[in-house]
Amino acid sequence: VAAMLTGARRPPPTVSAVGMRIYLESDPPPGAPRPKKASTGTNGLRRLEFVEQVLVNLWTDASESIAGPVAPGAPAPASEPRAKRGGFAPPPPALGAVTGGLGFGAYQARALDRALLQIETRGPFAYDAEKALARFDVVPQSDPNLPNDVQVTKVPARGGLSTLYSQVLELELNGGPGAPKAASAPLLKRLHAWTHTAGRFLTVSSQDDGMQAYGQDLVHEQGASRTVLTGAPLYVVRDRNVLSAGQPQLPATLTSVPGTGASKRAQVTVRGPGRVELYDAAANAITATAEWRASLVQSTEVENGREQDLFTFTEAARFDDPRADYWLKGSVLKLWLEPRAAAPDPSAPRDQTKPSRVQAIGSVTSHSAEYDVERADVLNVFFADVKPPVVAVAPVPPAVEDAPKAAPPTARPGAPPVPPDAPKLPGAATKEPEKQDKPKPPYKIAARTIDTWMNRTTGAAPLPPKGGAPNGPLPKDGGRPATATRYKLDKARCEDDVTVHQDPVDPAKPRGVDIAGRLLRIDGSDDGSVMTVYGSPTKPGEVHQEEMSLLGPEIVLDQVHNTATVKGRGALTMPTNSDLAGGELRQTEVVVIHWRDEMEFSGALRSAKFAGKVYARQGDSWVLCNAMNVKFDRPVYFNQAQKRAAASDKPNEKAKIDTVYCYPAPADTADDKAELEVKYSQSEYDKTGKLVKAQQLTATELKMEARARDVAGSEPYQRVEAFGPGTYRLWQMGERDLAPGPTGAPPLAPAAKPPQPAEQEMKLTVVRFSGRMTAIDKGKVFQQARFEDNIDVINVPAPDQAVQIDRHKLPPRSVLLTCSKELVVSSHKKGNGPPAQRMDATGNAFVRSDEYDGWGETVTHDGKMVVLNGSEALPARIMGRFGDRTSQAGKQIVYDRGAGTYKVLESYGGSFGKPR
């Protein structure tokens, strides 16, 4: 038996059994020579059988593996200690700990030359000398209360048992008939173990690797270091990590072959749907899972100069870390794991390996607490470890460790371990974890390519709320995990057809955040994100928020500093409760602002700056200038968390325009003369939608204040200040034949009949000024417009606001007023009476109507009386035109519109002309 099984070169085995049958070769025919065979020690033996109760002890080389992948390598130099000879690779970490440990001590370095291989069965044993094939079987019919397995145990000289349980075991040995007698050839050539009873599992385990595997069929080829485990399903448990693959009607195979990397780590391939559950020793719980439908391939790859384990999942792949509130799906999923750090103390627990990079390809979706990827072709996630923030944690009594069961205890000694409860495979019905309330909704991102860089922190886990853990189950003893891993976005790059959406914090709001562009860059922090959106040559980037929308070729939304900038031509849309001049509106209206060069919006400072051909529009009102600075009455928030923290008594009220500054382009940079001016236009409509008032202002500079104050603490009022030379146009309803200026001009002769109610008509008033215009509006109580330096006023009946007026060819019923110093028009309401209107023109004032011309140092009109005042150098004078050439001169001329009479004070005389 010794020569048969091992050859003379090995230590003799021991065999015990009940009953033995020996089958010898028959003699050749008379005269025929006996066939020549290699000297194997089995000449003349054809078959050997042991009937039952077989126990075989074999001595093999310590380097020989029964089922694990032995990495090939060149022979060690003779001077090197024998313990270091061979090309053995350490077990791959994390997932590799699950998939790469099928060898019974195969990943251990050769410590000694010999190991004991013990095979035991209650059933029969047969050896076919022709095939050099040994077969062990269980008892065909046996008491179910008694152990009935083929058990293989490997005992290396330096500890670390490995075991195999099956119903059938076949060993193909080297050194059969005709085989060369190589002294270095291993004992085992091929191992094949399987089960044939439904519901039974083949089991292999290794103490050195902390590994257990379950299946129905195992094939190991020693020379090629190739191992194939098949199961329906199959399981591998290592370091409390669990791999499961296959289904009852869909077998899966796990194949392990030598790798090609520098470390010669084995390459493991799993064919068939499967799932991996990763155990975190620090958290004392399963913290992450990976699933696939087609295959899993574990290999090695060099990343950043370091060899890392690479796991590739194909078809409906998913990686899930519920404690970190993170999952990732894709057609193909690649996971790179950092090399496991060597422990200074070999007896200390090994560090948990961590992902260094994840790549998803095809139909990619992902979720995290901050960001959801709704669509992507390629998603790359890079991880970096950072120190967690210092947080005071109350001491917690240590929890008794309750490790997950890899294999439940058996009912009788010697029985093989039973596989754990089958994890649910992809497609099985699972109960979704209950969603927890989040402080803010995540961003939902879609793009063709997404690269993200995540900061990973491991620190004290927060205590769970009453009723359960927020991100996964706790240990059964009720304790909480000592540590928890959290992921925080450091930066991201999204490219091609990028869209981002975030639901509003308040579900009652109409919108949250929407972003679209060609490229999006995100720089994250604990205080918010900095998002940079790039548009394409044919389409600008877009950022839409609850309070604002931005368009431009490059948009930077800084939630940390609460700012937004746009480089290049762009547009802003913003709802507000005030008009462009700051006046109160009965309902919210949208302001749209376009610019050519850039925009800077500081929400905390309540200011926005626009540069380059700025055009702002609200309804039918607009402003056109080269540069515009806007001040708001309250902060505008680009960070919803900051908005909630600063919520006032009226959190839903829109920001109002407080101050607007408009400037022209410098003369040396203006493209045309229009850029040297500032233009403002405002329109008002009645309830039927009919235009009832339109005003336009052209100036070199414009300032509009919604809450101006004369002194600190006084009541605020609305003020508009413009610098000339400028033009003001007003089109509104007015009385026929009124005094000059906005209120009309007085007739020269007394009225022949008592005054009747004035007839109304639309009139256009045009004011040109060289100095400054200041208009104030104190609600319905007091309004005033002041024009300075060389003022011209023309008042004409006009059917529409676009009528062009020639000063030297005025239409009928026109009124012209000029003065050199100042023109003030005001309206003052006292009590319940009608508002009192007044106009004062100062400095060589001149007024002309169809009937007369009037001169005076000042011209005053209070709605009822028109007064022309002369000066010492120039008396007041009035003279009829056309048919009536009557003229009067004096220190003061007063015309009473109500009575239709006038009088001259301190008359200097006059003349009475006749009609021509």
User: Regarding predicted confidence, which is higher, 37 or 279?
Assistant: 279
DSSP letter assigned to residue 413 = T
Other Cβ atoms within 10 Å of 774 Cβ, number: 15
- Report the pLDDT averaged over residues 83-108: 33
Tell me: pLDDT of 834 over 70.
Answer: yes
User: Contact 186/214 with Cβ under 8 angstroms?
Assistant: no
| Mean pLDDT in residue range 416-430 | 46
**pLDDT confidence tier of residue 415, bands split at 50, 70 and 90:** very low
Strands 371-385 vs 443-446: parallel, antiparallel or unpaired: parallel
Per-residue pLDDT tens digits for 169-211 = 999 887 654 455 555 566 788 899 999 888 889 999 888 777 8
6 or 155: which carries more pLDDT confidence?
155
For the chain, how long is the longest CA-to-CA vector?
174
Query: Between these two residues, 707 and 296, which has the higher pLDDT value?
Result: 296
At 470 the pLDDT is 41
pLDDT digits (tens, 9 = 90+) for 544-586: 887 789 999 999 989 888 899 999 999 999 888 888 877 777 7
Q: How far, in Å, are 95, 369, 503, 674 from residue 461 at the CA level?
A: 24, 16, 28, 65
Tell me which range, 33-42, 101-110, 373-382, 775-784, is most confidently predicted by mean pLDDT. 373-382
Residues facing residue 822 across a β-bridge? 788, 842
CA–CA dist 338, 305 (Å, integer) = 12
Residue 328 pLDDT > 50, yes or no? yes
Q: Does residue 96 have a pLDDT over 70?
A: no
Residue that the structure tokens 């210092």 belong to: 390
Residues 6+ apart with CB under 8 A from 422: 233, 235, 244
Whole-number percent of the chain with pLDDT over 90: 27
Contact by Cβ (8 Å): 255, 217: no
Q: What is the pLDDT of residue 91?
A: 31
Q: Give the amino acid at 278.
A: L
pLDDT at residue 473 in the model: 44
Residues 535-547: b if buried by 16+ CB within 10 A, e if exposed: beeeebbbbbbbb
351 or 74, higher pLDDT? 351
pLDDT at 8 over 60: no
Cβ count within 10 A of residue 427:
11
> How far is the C-alpha of 499 from the C-alpha of 489, rounded, in Å?
18
Task: From 152, 68, 71, 61, select the one nearest 103 (Cα to Cα).
Answer: 68
C-alpha to C-alpha distances, 8 to 2, 42, 204, 695, 773, nearest whole angstrom = 8, 11, 30, 116, 119
pLDDT at position 379: 93
Among the listed residues 601, 447, 441, the one whose alpha carbon sits nearest the alpha carbon of residue 515: 447
Local confidence band at 107 (pLDDT 50, 70, 90 cut-offs): very low
CB proximity list for 808: less than 8 A, separation 6 or greater: none
What integer pLDDT is reported at residue 321 of this predicted model?
84
CA-to-CA distance for 619 and 576, rounded, in angstroms?
A: 12
pLDDT at 131 over 70: yes
> Do the beta carbons of residue 285 and residue 484 sit within 8 Å?
no
Check residue 368 and give its pLDDT: 83
Over 50: is that where the pLDDT of 820 sits? yes
pLDDT band (50, 70, 90) for residue 100: very low
What local confidence, expressed as pLDDT, does residue 555 receive?
A: 95
CA angle 703, 708, 711 (to 5 degrees): 130
Residue 628 — pLDDT band, cuts 50, 70, 90?
very high
User: Average pLDDT, whole number, for the chain?
Assistant: 77
Please tell me which residue, 180 or 123, carries the higher pLDDT value.
123
Query: 83 pLDDT exceeds 60?
Result: no
At 270 the pLDDT is 94
Please give the single-letter amino acid code of residue 909: G
Report the range out of 343-347, 394-398, 614-618 with the highest average pLDDT: 614-618
The CB density around residue 889, as the number of other CB atoms within 10 Å, is: 20
Ranges 116-125, 221-230, 263-272, 835-844: which has the least confidence: 263-272
pLDDT band at 463 (very low <50, low <70, confident <90, very high): very low
User: What percentage of the chain has pLDDT greater than the value 70?
Assistant: 73
Amino acid of residue 204: V
Decide if pLDDT at 422 tops 60: no
State residue 589's pLDDT score. Answer: 84
Which residue shows structure tokens 């994390």?
94
Whole-model pTM?
Answer: 0.71
* Residues 910, 904: Cα–Cα separation, whole Å: 10
Q: Which two tokens stand for residue 373?
A: 């990827």
pLDDT at residue 645 is higher than 60: no
How many whole angstroms separate alpha carbon 791 and alpha carbon 845? 9
Ranking 75-79, 108-112, 902-906 by mean pLDDT, the lowest is 75-79
The CA R_g of the chain, rounded to the nearest whole Å, is: 48
**CB neighbourhood size of 83 (10 A):** 14
Binned at pLDDT 50, 70 and 90, residue 14 comes out as confident
pLDDT band at 64 (very low <50, low <70, confident <90, very high): low
The structure tokens listed for 479 are 């304790």
Q: Give dist(CA 449, CA 498) in Å, integer.
A: 9
Predicted confidence at residue 341, as pLDDT, reads 59
- Closest to 693 measured CA to CA, from 681, 704, 675: 681
pLDDT at site 428: 42
CA angle 838/844/848 to nearest 5° reads 70
Give the residue, 150 or 735, on which the prediction is more confident: 150
* Distance from C-alpha of 859 to C-alpha of 893, rounded to nearest angstrom: 10
Q: pLDDT tier at 262 (50, 70, 90 boundaries)?
A: low
String of DSSP letters for 452-469: EEEEEEEEEPPPPPTTS-
Interval 869-885: pLDDT, tens: 998 888 898 887 766 66
Q: Per residue in 646-661, pLDDT tens? A: 555 455 567 788 899 9
Distance CA 17, CA 29 (A): 35
- Which of 97-101, 157-161, 357-361, 588-592 reaches the highest mean pLDDT? 357-361
Kindly state the average pLDDT of the residues 249-253. 91
Contact 559, 528 (CB under 8 A): yes
The residue type of 884 is D
pLDDT number for residue 99:
35
pLDDT at 686 over 70: yes
Q: Name the pLDDT band for 84 (thresholds 50, 70, 90).
A: very low
Residue 10's pLDDT band, with cuts at 50, 70 and 90, is: low
| Over residues 607-612, mean pLDDT | 93
Could you tell me the pLDDT band of residue 80, with boundaries at 50, 70 and 90?
Answer: very low
Band (708; pLDDT cuts 50, 70, 90): confident
Q: Indicate the pairing of strand 772-778 with strand 782-788.
A: antiparallel
